[in-house]
Amino acid sequence: MQRKNSKIKFIITVSAMLMGIFGGCSDQGSAPEPNTAPVITSPPAIAALVDRQFSYEVEATDAEGDIISIQFANLPSWLTAGSHTVTGMAMAGTADTSFTAVATDGSLADTIAISLRVVPTGEIVSYADSIQPIFTNNCIRCHGGIEGTGGLRLESHMQLMEGGASGPAVIEFLPDESHLIYRIEGTVQPRMPFDGPPYLTDEQIQMIREWILQGALDD
């Protein structure tokens, strides 16, 4: 009887060892997680101001954390490509153009066509001359001083671009994704200025929109 029990214990022990050896490898034959392509997050429509230094950076994310490389194609002659950026200066008479950016992780890629508008000198919206006066006359009662309502201060370009408690106020080239535009147009409540009406005029809002479309520069 004791020999039979010992035999049973031996079989159980060997079975447990085999399960430990092969069971731990059971997932080795399973299919790996599929790789996904990088995603370019930079705006596809941008602007360069005549006689101003222009720079555009392509940013991309990768779900697996793979290293991303950026390549450019069909660049106009006045643009020079770096590892992630293109730089250059458009001269008077330079035509609107487009080029291609490709983000790759070595196996998969994301490609976007980028349209580039060249803004003539007479159409450039100056922050100092056209945008800051709007904020000074309508906004800094609340968005001035040491902190500013919601952490947003509007007494300088630097303060505006720092944003506030809710995040960036302006996203270069993208007025439709800029929180500042949501507020002054009233698509996000409360509409600003907080003590309106009156609110900013359509012409003032369009001026701010155009300034953002041109890259929201401190010009």
Predicted confidence (pLDDT) per residue in 164-203, tens digit: 998 999 999 999 999 999 999 999 999 999 988 999 999 9
Backbone angles phi and psi of 17, in degrees to 5: -65, -45
Place of tokens 């007479």: 122
Q: Is the pTM of this model over 0.85?
A: no
Vertex 111: Cα angle to 107 and 116 (nearest 5): 150
Among 2.60.40.10, 3.30.365.10, 3.20.20.80, 2.60.40.650, name the CATH number for the domain at 39-120.
2.60.40.10
Q: What is the pLDDT of residues 17-53, one digit of tens each?
A: 444 444 444 455 566 678 899 999 999 999 999 999 9
Domain edges within the chain: 39-120, 127-213
